[in-house]
Every structure is written in structure tokens, then in C-alpha cells.
Chain A
Amino acid sequence: MTGSAARNLPGSPPTGPQLVKPKAVLELKNVAISYMVRAGELKVVPNVSLTLHEGEALGLVGESGCGKSTLAYAIMRYLGGAGRLAGGHILFEGRDMGKMSEAELRSIRGSRMAMVYQDPMSSLNPVIPVGRQLMEVPMVHSGAGEVEAKERALTMLREVKLPDPETLFDRYPHQLSGGQQQRVVIAMALMAEPSLLVMDEPTTGLDVTVEAAVLDLVATLRRKHNTAIVFISHNLGTVVRICDRIGVMYAGELVEEGPIAEVFRDPSHPYTRGLLNAIPSLNADKRNRPLSSIPGQVPPILARPKGCVFAPRCIYVEPGRCTTRPIDTVLYGETGLHRVKCVRTRELPRHARAVAANGNEAAPATASAELVLSVGGLEKAYHQSPGVFGGGGYEVHAVDGIDLSAGRGTTLAIVGESGCGKSTFAKVLTGIEQATGGTVQLSGAEIGRTPVEARSAATKRAIQMVFQNPDSTLNPSHSIGYVLSRAIRKLRGIGGRQARAETEALLKTVNLPEEFASRKPRQLSGGQKQRVAIARALAGEPELILADEPVSALDVSVQAAIINLLVEIQQKRGATLLFISHDLSVVRYLADHVAVMYLGKVMEFGSVAEVFSPPYHPYTEALMSAVPIADPEVKRERIILEGAIPSPTERPKGCPFATRCQRKVGAICDEQTPPERRTSSGHRIACHIPLEDLKAAEHFAF
């Protein structure tokens, strides 16, 4: 450690007194982890060394299957029956965890080190009130009495900013929202003031506004308690918010590690560069620059290459030097804190950051384009019929009067958090659900109330969909070739040899080799499955492609490739794309028009340039400020929304956003439906605040 000077980097939050040499909380020395499986021993992590000091936060990033979680579990010494520490040492507060007994490990876990998982429900006991669960921590680990434990539990609940801790204390986990559950889990982890907190994708399942609040909370608590954190995430933006150091993992190896600002300013491993480039950012949009993806995929453990593990996907690979023997970790940069596992580090061209590509501001694709889709006052209500005993009997408005339209060959993005009705809207378009009010016209024909079974062949052909979850989008029993040829036959009435030729053409369109026709979905990776799903949607040469979060389940490197594919297909075929997403940077990149939805209503609608610059609807503003930006140099004011999204059964009477709005004017918001304020160009905002006042907002760059 060269001292404290290097630690005062921009972007790294102050970490206590810098004059004394910080104490190492966790040291991994040549740690190797393997799993015993039928085929033998799998060396999941061959050799990782790193040190974490008191109060430091280290982010671990990388694609799925790179060993991030395995490493986290190894740190907790909690690898399950099949996993074991195959080599090296894990020192926690100077003691070798490999030599500790089960009893010692138990007393450390939960008191000196704690873990927060992705799914809060799996860490909370569903039959015990949350307060009781919190009380157990001091009672078990420090022998506190009931009264003292309760006092401490309440203090902790207050500290994680949960509203009304006294009431919440007696609630059961299922009575809390996802964000509240995760706060309780964090409270529980911090109860015993651990010196190390391991967080495995703690915000992945949360909505972006809730995520922002949880991340802020973690950052605050970390500073207050001086807790060291290992923060695992696939989202570089969240890592930037929390961490002062970052470790990039690839195929079980730590390929680059260093202070976060330095790694982002000067990423030296080609894999890190690939990850950073794959994020849509900084004014890039589909018209001026395709996203760069990392071709190929993480090699299976048994097929890892001999030399550099990244060599097969690396654009800078030099056969021989990179591919013959294991790569050493070398120091890089001036600080002596930045380590890289690459032999060509010093020869690589300096990483060019993606800069705003000239002021080519999104001119929305020909505004006069003929409308393919026009939606007027669309409503979808679900009726809950009264039960046998007369209870219940209410209506839930999932979609509550929305007006939208999309021109031929353009992309309309629908943005909103879970429960905003965006997926219900898509279901009505597909005919799987029927509208209960309003109109939906596809090229002039009304389809809102026609179930898919009753739609004409031409209509079915005209609307196709790409789904969110790659694992449920393809029937595991059918081969890819069958899936595609069946779609071609049903939608276009082509069979036999011609269908086979078409299938091959479709596979080529989505950049998959012909041999894939004989594969089953389980032989494909997530990104490949999504490609097949896109090919299937294209089989009928549709006019309108609905894409419901098509990339949200994919790694960022794969995500870029799929988005490029969608853009390319749209440009080539002139199809209209309805893109549903919660990821604003992707929307910014891909869309021509954007609709922001909240509780079944459209809060803001306009061209992408209009929606992404002031005036913003207060909700849009909150969403934008909440998006974690993968750039330590971007500092922005964050608007933290309090409370959770109201359930659709208890919809507010006035503006749906009134209960959480940061710009709430007063009683008028609760009581009156906000007027729709329009500009001459068609930009609409549903808010009581005049547009002039909304214009004063900060401009959020992406």
C-alpha cells in the first residue's frame, strides 16, 4: 500500500481518518474454489487475491457465470455441500477462516460479517414478524435482553428510514413492499455492526426509484458505521454509486482491480473496456453510433482457454503471447493500486471514452409518417367478483385511459416501474387480454376488444411479440428449427422445403448459424434465445413488433448486441417497434417517441428529445435522477421518492403520482385529475404545475 494520497480520488467518498494505515478487514490470498460435480472437480475460481480495508467498498462486476457470487459465498465460508476452498487462504480480521470450526464461523456470520441477497423474501422468515427477526440478532450474538434488543431493533429500523417503525415492527414480511423488505434485510445485516457486509445484487429486483433510495441508504450507513462492503452487481452504475474500488471478474479470474475513478478513466483490460463500451450512454443514439458489444460468450469452466481466459473474445489478442500460458497480474497506472491481468496492457491504445457524437439531436423519424398504431382512451379493468360471503367485489384499473400513437418504422418506448400497466397494455395489443374501454387501431382496424383467437390472419401476422424472460420464451421441448418453421407456416402459409429455407434465412437475419435449427433451447445462452425469439417474431413479417423488456434479463455485453439487432432489423424492414422498458439509457438510445406511465396512466408523452430534456413531468424527473450512471465523474442531484407505488386498488383520487411527488403543489394534486399540458410539437405532460415552472429542472444527460 503506497499510502493515503492515492485514496483521495475524485468519486471516492471520504473513508475515515486517512493518516493511519487502514486495517485490512478481509484478505484473499490465492483463493481457489471448486465444485464437485458428476464430471469431476470444477475449478470455478482458480486463483484470486485481493485485500479489503476497513470501511472500503469493493464492487465486483462481470457477466453472469464469472464467479462473482461464488466468491461472495466463499468469503462467508458458505459454499454448500459440493463447493470447497481448494487452495489459498481467506483471512478475516487477520484470522484464517479455513481453520475456524463451524461454531466459530457461526458466531462470526451475522455478527462480524453479514450478507444481503438479491431476493429479500428468501432471507426473511415469512411466519415471524420482522421486528422479532431483528431482535434475534443482538439476542443471539451479544446476549442482549428482550427490552434492549427491541430498543436496538427499533433504532435500526429508524436508521434504514422505514416509515413508522413501531407499526412496522409487528408486520410480517409479506406485508411489506420489496423495497421495504430489502431495507429490513439491510437493517438486520447491520444490527450487529459487522465489519464486513457482502451484498449480492441487492437491488436487482427493485424498481429504479426504489433502487436509488436503497443505494443511497447503503452509502450513508456505510460511512456512518465504517463497514467494509463487497458489492456484487452486473450493473456498473450501481457499483459507481456505492464503491470506491472495483474488481472486474471474468471466467473466475479477477482481470482488473483498482480505484473506481481510475479504472473508469483508464480501463486497461480489454474486457473492462468492452463492458464500459456496451453501456448506451452520452447522447449516443441509434442514428449515430451502434452500441459495441463483446462478441462470443463466457467459456464453460471445462473449456477455459489455456492462456488468457478472455483471449477468444479479445480484439487485441496476439496469438502465442496471449494464448500459451497463464497470465500474470501486473500493476498499472501511477497509484500502484490498479492491477490488471493482461500481457499487452502497456501496448494497448488508450481507451477512448465515448463522447457525445456531435449535436445530431434526435430529429424524430419523419413526423408525418403514417400511423400504424393509435390508441385512444384505452382502459383495461379487471373485475374481482365478490366472494361467497359478500366480501370484495371491486375493480382494478391496470390501464386507465391512455392515448398513444406510433408511426410506421418508428420506435415507441413505454417507460415505467412495475405495476404501471405497461405489460397489460402489451397484452391488450396482442389480444391475449381485451380492452374494457377506448380504442386500439392497427393501421386503421379496431382490434382492442378482439381476442387473439378471433383476429384475422392478417392481424395476427401484423403484430408479433418478443418477451422478457429468455427462459420461458421458447418451448423447451421444441427445436429452434421447429419453432421457426411452425411460425412461418402458421403466419404465412408456407411449408415444406420453402419453410426450411425461410428458417435459415431468419436465423441468418438474427446472426445465428444454420446449425442452430436442430438445437433445443436449453443448449442456447440467454442472448441466443432472445435472438431466436426475435426471429420468431419476424417470421410473419409483422408491421408492429412488441418488445416487452427484451434485454432486461441479459448481461450488458449481450444486451448491446440485441439492441443493435433490433435497430438493424427495424431499419431494414421498416417495422414499428413498441419497446417496453424500465431502462432509461436504453430507451434514450433506441426510441423515437417515449411514453412515461405511472399507475395505468400516461404522465408524459413526446419525442425522445422532448421527454429527455426539461420540462419534465415530476415523475420523469425522479426516474431520470434515479438511474445509476456508470461514470464516477457524473455527479447529480438525486431525487429520492418516498413511499411505495400505491396498489392499483387504492388509486389516488387526483393525480396518481401525488402520494410520492417531490413537487406536490398541495391539496389540488390529491383531489383533481391534472390537466394535460401540451406544447405545439405534441409533447404532453399531465401535471398541475405549468410547463414554464417545470422547465426550470436540471437537465439530465445520459
Chain B
Amino acid sequence: MTATTTPRRHAGFLARTWARLRLLKESPIGMVGAFLVLFWIAVAILAPWISPHDPNESNMDALVDPSPSAVNWLGTDNQGRDILSRIIWGSRTVLGVAPVAVIIAYAIGCFLGLLAGYYRGWVDQLINRIADIILSFPAIILYIIVIMRLGPSAFNIVMAVVFIASPQIVRIVRGMTLELREQDYVAAAKMRGESALYIMLAEILPNARGPLIVDACLRMGYTTITIGVLGFLGLGLPPPDPDWGGMVKDTYAMMSIAPLMSLFPAMAISSLVVGFSLLADGIREISLRD
């Protein structure tokens, strides 16, 4: 009996987080997802060292035969640039933009969702109506409008993702807040005179974290796709910097002659997306167990 009740008084936050993460070992699906995601993170960090070529350097000789070779492992693209190097450097775009966008979207979404759910009344009405309006447009058209207006750049992609994702997050957080605000511990907090901000951030938000972490993981996947789509539509990073969606766009015209040129970047996108959704499944699975 004592083994199960050993006090963990000084277990720090990091140690507890690590203990939580180790639970993931019990979900094979989650492990595959975590592996894929960590793989791409490592690639992005190590890009300067592991990239065999300069991603923007054209090799005119390769234009004759763009197929994979000993020099260009995954072949070269329509301008003779090494595809492997471009994928490696391109991972930085995705993994730089997607988390930043998702984190900012979450910060805004959580804040507004908490306000709407906690105060209800006109605050809720106002926030909800604005969210409704944004959500009523087809997302892809909104992206195109926003980026066309702001011009393509990493920062503007972040802005666009935040603009479109945060209303959805508002909806989720609001729903959970409506439920959690009725818990007795919230009443107890009010009775000891806690401020509304404390109640929202310390009493309500931590208990909404389970579904939010899962959603954040899935959303990273969607954002990866979005960034790919924007790149494909020519609304990604301005050339010549590599970006996976842009790589597909540049080469899809040659699909019939050299299909590998667009296949490899497309595979990079999907492996990362699949990684994020498997990770989300894994987290959901272990969170249901306790």
C-alpha cells in the first residue's frame, strides 16, 4: 500500500511532465506519431549540418536528368536544385510557422473563449457573433483574401492562421468553460474572493487542458496542410526560399515526366501531418486511461 502512496512532494514540474510523457510509451500509435514529429524537429534544427547542398543553388547539369542519383539523393527539381536539401530546409518553414501560429491562436482563442464562457451575457454574444462571422466563410477563401491583402510572408501566414483558427478555439474553450464554471470548486474560489482572471486561468483553464492538448496537436497537422496549400497557391514564402507546398507547385506541371519531383515534398507534408494526428490519438488514448 505504501508504494502507491509515496509522497511526491518535491517532484518538480519538469519531472511530472516527463512522467506524463513516458506514459505515451503505452500507446504504440502515439509513439509512431511522436517519432515522426521529433524526426522532423531534429531535421529542422540540424538543417545547416545535414543538408548536402545549398537549397537554392541550381545545378545546371542535373537539369538533363533530374532523377535521384548519388549526388542528389532525391533528385533535383525543375531548376536543378537538390530536392533533399530543399525538403530539409523547408521543414524549418513549416515547423517555424505552424507552432508559432497555433500558440498565438491558442492564446487568443483561450482568452476570448474563457471570457465568453465565464461572463456569458453580452460578452458572450459579442465574441460569439464575431467568431460566427469568421467561421461562416470557407476557410481557404479567407486565407487567400488575407494573404493577398497582406502579401506573402512567414509573419502574414501566421496572422492568417491565427485569424482563422482562433474562432474555432474560442468555440471549444467557451463550451468547456460553460461546463467547468458550474463546478463547486469555482464557487469555492469565488467565496474566498478570487479575481475573475484567477478563476479563469487557475481554476478553469487547467481542467480544460486534456481536450485542448489533443486539439492543439491536430491543429498543428491542419496548419501544416494549410501552409502547404498556401505554398501551392503561391501564397507561401516568397521565392527562392524552400517551402514544401511551393515545391509541389513549382514541379507539378512536370508530373507526367518527373513525378518524383512533387512526390517527395508531398510525402514530407503528409508524414508530418500523420505524425501530428497519431500523436493526438496517442495523447487522447492515455488521457482516457486515468
Contact = CB atoms under 8 A, between A and B. Distances in A.
B207 A475 contact: yes
Contacts of A299: 1
Contacts of B209: 477
A303 B188 contact: no
Interface in B176-212: 183-185, 187-194, 196, 202-203, 206-207, 209
A38 B288 CA distance: 13
Contact of A491 (B7, B26, B193, B203): B193
A432 interface: yes
Contacts of B203: 475
Closest 6 CB pairs of A and B: A477-B206, A467-B184, A518-B9, A475-B185, A490-B192, A473-B184
Given A476-B207, A477-B206, A515-B7, A487 B184 contact: no
Contact of B187 (A430, A453, A478): A430
A487 B189 CA distance: 8
A474 interface: yes
Chain A CB count within 10 A is highest, among B188, B202, B209, for: B188
Contacts of A464: 191-192
A430 B189 CA distance: 11
B136 interface: no
Nearest to A464: B191
A452 B191 contact: yes
A421 interface: no
Interface string A448-491: 00001101010010011101110011111110000000110011
B188 A467 contact: yes
Given A515-B5, A523-B5, 9 more contacts: A300-B4, A303-B1, A452-B193, A453-B190, A464-B191, A465-B187, A490-B192, A518-B9, A536-B188
A299 B194 CA distance: 38
A472 B183 contact: yes
A460 B184 contact: no
Q: B4, B190, B203 — which one has the most chain A CB atoms within 10 A of its CB?
A: B190
A431 interface: yes
Contact of A463 (B5, B185, B191): B191
A433 to B, nearest CB: 10
A38 B25 CA distance: 13
B188 A38 contact: no
B9 A474 contact: no
Contacts of B289: 38
28 contacts: A38-B289, A299-B1, A303-B1, A430-B187, A430-B190, A432-B190, A432-B191, A452-B193, A453-B190, A453-B196, A464-B191, A467-B188, A468-B184, A473-B188, A474-B185, A475-B183, A475-B189, A475-B207, A476-B207, A487-B188, A487-B192, A491-B192, A515-B5, A515-B9, A517-B9, A518-B8, A539-B192, A540-B192
B188 A465 contact: yes
Contacts of B26: 38
A50 B191 CA distance: 52
Contacts of A460: 191-193
Contacts of A491: 192-193
A464 B26 CA distance: 43
Contacts of A472: 183-185
Nearest to A299: B1
The residue in A299, A472, A474 that gathers the most chain B C-beta atoms within 10 A of its C-beta is: A472
Contacts of B193: 452, 455, 457, 460, 490-491
Contact of B190 (A452, A475, A540): A452
Output the residue of A452, A477, A487, A539 with the most chain B CB within 10 A: A477
Contact of A432 (B4, B187, B194, B202): B187
Interface string B159-187: 00000000000000000000000011101
Interface string A416-455: 0000000000000011100000000000000000001101
Interface of A: 38, 299-300, 303, 430-432, 452-453, 455, 457, 460, 463-465, 467-469, 472-478, 486-487, 490-491, 515, 517-519, 522-523, 533, 536, 539-540
B32 to A, nearest CB: 20
**Of B188, B191, B289, most A-chain CB atoms within 10 Å:** B191
Interface string B253-277: 0000000000000000000000000
A579 to B, nearest CB: 17
A443 B1 CA distance: 48
Nearest to A487: B192
A460 B195 CA distance: 13
Nearest to B203: A475
Interface string B3-28: 01101110000000000000000100
Interface centre among B5, B26, B185 (most CB of A within 10 A): B185
Contacts of B207: 475-477
Given A477-B207, A518-B7, A518-B9, A467 B187 contact: yes
Contacts of A533: 188
Nearest to B26: A38
A473 B183 CA distance: 7
Given A303-B1, A474-B185, A475-B203, A465 B7 contact: no
A299 B4 CA distance: 12
Nearest to A521: B185
Nearest to A546: B191
B191 A473 contact: no
Contacts of B189: 475
Nearest to B6: A515
Contact of A486 (B8, B191, B192): B192
A465 B185 CA distance: 11
Nearest to A473: B184
Given A475-B203, A518-B8, A469 B184 contact: yes
A284 B238 CA distance: 84
B203 to A, nearest CB: 6
Interface string B70-89: 00000000000000000000
Contact of B191 (A431, A515, A518): A431
B16 to A, nearest CB: 10
A476 B188 CA distance: 14
A533 B209 CA distance: 24
A139 B194 CA distance: 60
Contacts of B194: 490
Nearest to A489: B192
A437 B190 CA distance: 23
A474 B188 CA distance: 9
A388 to B, nearest CB: 14
Contacts of B190: 430-432, 452-453
A297 to B, nearest CB: 11
Most buried by A among B1, B190, B192, B207: B192
Nearest to B185: A475
A460 B190 CA distance: 9
Nearest to A37: B289
Contacts of A522: 290
A78 B122 CA distance: 50
Nearest to A515: B7
A453 B196 CA distance: 9
Contacts of A478: 202
Contacts of B187: 430, 432, 465, 467
A303 B289 CA distance: 20
A539 B9 CA distance: 22
B170 to A, nearest CB: 22
Contacts of B9: 515, 517-518
Contacts of B191: 430-432, 452, 460, 463-465
A469 B290 CA distance: 20
Contacts of B188: 465, 467, 473, 487, 533, 536
A460 B207 CA distance: 25
Nearest to B194: A490
Nearest to A476: B207
Contacts of A486: 192
A476 B183 CA distance: 11
B192 A473 contact: no
A478 B189 CA distance: 12
For A38, A472, A475, the residue with the greatest tally of chain B CB atoms inside 10 Å of its CB is A475
